Amino acid sequence: MEDREKQTNDVIESLEENMDLLAITGVEDKLQDDVLATIDTLRSAGIQVWMLTGDKVETATCIAISAGFKNKRQ
């Protein structure tokens, strides 16, 4: 593939066009204090909360359960 880096940057720029960034958070394997309560508060206020991760599925699943995005039975 020719000009792969330029093509990748072009796609990234087109995806970011007219995007409003509201918040970003970084999460390692251990969640910070009060993350679950904070997420619950945001959801109670009608704010959609999404989890985006590049982790392995197993790690992402554990974090999703710890953060209250998923329960153990889902």
With respect to residue 8, please indicate whether it lies within any of the assigned structural domains: no
With respect to residue 7, please indicate whether it lies within any of the assigned structural domains: no
With respect to residue 70, please indicate whether it lies within any of the assigned structural domains: yes
With respect to residue 42, please indicate whether it lies within any of the assigned structural domains: yes
Cα(51)–Cα(60) distance, integer angstroms: 9
User: Could you report the per-residue pLDDT of 18-65, keeping only the tens digit for each?
Assistant: 777 777 776 556 777 888 888 889 989 999 888 888 878 888 888 888
With respect to residue 57, please indicate whether it lies within any of the assigned structural domains: yes
With respect to residue 33, please indicate whether it lies within any of the assigned structural domains: yes
With respect to residue 27, please indicate whether it lies within any of the assigned structural domains: yes
Provide the Cα torsion 4, 19, 51, 25; round to 10°.
100
The model carries a pTM of: 0.49
Number of domains in the chain: 1
User: Could you report the per-residue pLDDT of 2-28, keeping only the tens digit for each?
Assistant: 889 899 888 888 887 777 777 777 655
Task: Give, in degrees to the nearest 5, the angle at Cα 36 between 31 and 38.
Answer: 110
Instruction: Tell me which residue range forms the domain holding 55.
Output: 22-74
